[in-house]
A and B are shown apart, each in its own frame.
Chain A
């Protein structure tokens, strides 16, 4: 790009019109991206200005709405003294552990129900009833049964992941078009080949959907559990700040909750892009 620009420069005396067009075209290439970036800001900025005004002139009590600077300083403090990091790491570990266990069991259940009609007949009705009670509904009972230790969080997060993963795996396998299976049979595929080359690739997009839902639900459930019963983690930090009426701590922790949710989502999107490469190559 830059090499071309230096070559173009002396030519400009001879062919001003064509160079102008060049520039316009190049400008047009990055203009939409820049515009997108620029236009994303006015709305949050307006809220920020309103927030600054409201807190500086104390239209509301500072305990209820701290100034942006306070929140920023607190954010820096929490970042420096490690509170944000240690609590964030704890929450992150809990969600990964619970999600791993839940998704693993969910995958096994879904595969079992998808492949064996007998297994499905026995398990599916109970599973459906189990899935009807939202994770939060289980929380008070679990708190009484297993206490408010680590086990409570892992079980609840695992339950939140299990249901969508199992359901989507089951549906994904069940809805593999029979035509595919017929073709595989014509080619004399063995049972294992049929599973590895036809059933799972065909069911994969749906299973993956379940995994994404599962992770979102896991994170949702974990934050709820930490708000209600925890002595560490991001949710606890929020409750702690709320109890001390330090809204700056609450807001800083909420920002980190959003950031972790964003990172989890992005990681899955990246894995998905990698895993589904074969689909795009086909066309």
Chain B
């Protein structure tokens, strides 16, 4: 008891009022049969669907497939984003040549690309990973351009005095100095990549494994429990990815010290 009292202060309880109240109303309304229970299923249905999905074996293969696409696309898009961003940020000519095209194309809403991509690359993993990579590319490229262009001239001059070659300049000065913005871009990219993974699985749904595919199948079969569970899972994984990103960000940027 004292442990609970020490770790959960009086105020924290307030945060539980709304969710618990919501759960109670949900249970009561469905139990009393005031609503169409085929459409608004009782919470027990969600748990049952979750249990069934867990034990059916498609859960882990689906989760693995989704996370695999997410990470593959994220890594690919981020690498290209950092490379492109450095080039455009450092070279005035690259900026003049490719900058306007890049800034024009970024206005096209991401999902509008999907039908084009599916025509050119099909509905398989290749198309999905390409789409996830595209969605990760924009924030990383934007962050890198911003960071690289913000590197202080004085620092570059010092590097020149020490006769840094181009490679040293890039890896010892420019990229570290731009890292806060690059990492902010990577963080955004992680969120967008997960969104794009789910979106591509909805829109290019096949009978293959994947979290989004499972949700769409649940919707087609009118399995509301599975759909709700899938939704919660999508949110939970997004949350976990976000936490990991925050941790990694704090760790990588520790050298900056506390902002005073």
Taking CB as reference atom, which chain B residue is nearest A38?
B96
User: With A227-B111, A254-B112 as given contacts, are A122 and B18 in contact (CB-CB < 8 Å)?
Assistant: yes
Instruction: Please state if B111 and A137 are interface contacts (CB–CB under 8 Å).
Output: no
Residues on B with beta carbons closer than 8 Å to the beta carbon of A65: 120
Instruction: Please state if A136 and B199 are interface contacts (CB–CB under 8 Å).
Output: yes
Residues on B with beta carbons closer than 8 Å to the beta carbon of A122: 14-15, 17-18
| A223 partner, pick from B104, B109, B218, B239, beta carbons under 8 A | B109
Give B residues with C-beta under 8 Å from A.
Answer: 11-12, 14-19, 22, 39-40, 93, 96-101, 104-105, 107-116, 118-120, 191, 194-195, 198-199, 202-203, 215-216, 218-219, 222, 224, 227-228, 230-232, 234-236, 238-239, 242
Instruction: Please state if B216 and A43 are interface contacts (CB–CB under 8 Å).
Output: no
List the 4 closest pairs (A to B, CB-CB), nearest first: A133-B235, A125-B15, A40-B100, A258-B108
Residues on B with beta carbons closer than 8 Å to the beta carbon of A137: 198, 230-231, 234-235, 238
User: With A133-B235, A239-B115 as given contacts, are A125 and B19 in contact (CB-CB < 8 Å)?
Assistant: yes
Residues on B with beta carbons closer than 8 Å to the beta carbon of A247: 116, 119
User: With A129-B235, A140-B227 as given contacts, are A220 and B18 in contact (CB-CB < 8 Å)?
Assistant: no
Task: Give the distance in Å from the alpha carbon of A245 to the alpha carbon of B118 in the complex.
Answer: 11
Residues on B with beta carbons closer than 8 Å to the beta carbon of A224: 111, 199, 203
User: With A133-B235, A136-B202, A137-B231 as given contacts, are A42 and B97 in contact (CB-CB < 8 Å)?
Assistant: yes
Instruction: Please state if A242 and B115 are interface contacts (CB–CB under 8 Å).
Output: yes
Task: Give the distance in Å from the alpha carbon of A259 to the alpha carbon of B39 in the complex.
Answer: 39
Residues of A74-123 contacting chain B, CB below 8 A = 118, 121-123
CB pairs A–B below 8 angstroms (12 shown): A40-B97, A125-B18, A132-B236, A133-B234, A141-B224, A144-B219, A145-B40, A223-B110, A250-B119, A258-B107, A259-B107, A265-B107
Instruction: Please state if A235 and B231 are interface contacts (CB–CB under 8 Å).
Output: no
Residues on B with beta carbons closer than 8 Å to the beta carbon of A134: 191, 194-195, 198, 234-235, 238
Instruction: Please state if B219 and A228 are interface contacts (CB–CB under 8 Å).
Output: no
Instruction: Please state if B115 and A227 are interface contacts (CB–CB under 8 Å).
Output: yes
| A138 partner, pick from B15, B17, B194, B231, beta carbons under 8 A | B231
Instruction: Please state if A254 and B111 are interface contacts (CB–CB under 8 Å).
Output: no
**Main SS of the interface on chain A?**
helix
Residues on B with beta carbons closer than 8 Å to the beta carbon of A254: 108, 112-113, 116
Residues on B with beta carbons closer than 8 Å to the beta carbon of A223: 109-112
Best-buried of B199, B219, B222 by chain A (most CB within 10 Å) = B199
Taking CB as reference atom, which chain B residue is nearest A63?
B119
- Taking the nearest CB of chain B, how far is it from the CB of A19, in angstroms? 31
- Taking the nearest CB of chain B, how far is it from the CB of A71, in angstroms? 12
Taking CB as reference atom, which chain A residue is nearest B102?
A43
Instruction: Please state if A36 and B96 are interface contacts (CB–CB under 8 Å).
Output: yes
Q: Does A35 contact B (CB under 8 A)?
A: yes
- Chain B proximity mask over A121-153: 1 for CB below 8 Å, otherwise 0: 111111001001110111111011100000000
Residues of A195-239 contacting chain B, CB below 8 A = 219-220, 223-224, 227-228, 234-235, 238-239
- Taking the nearest CB of chain B, how far is it from the CB of A156, in angstroms? 12
Taking CB as reference atom, which chain B residue is nearest A225?
B111
User: With A132-B236, A144-B222, A242-B118 as given contacts, are A220 and B111 in contact (CB-CB < 8 Å)?
Assistant: yes
- Chain B proximity mask over A238-281: 1 for CB below 8 Å, otherwise 0: 11011001010011011001110110010000000000000000
Residues on A with beta carbons closer than 8 Å to the beta carbon of B99: 40
Task: Give the distance in Å from the alpha carbon of A206 to the alpha carbon of B231 in the complex.
Answer: 30
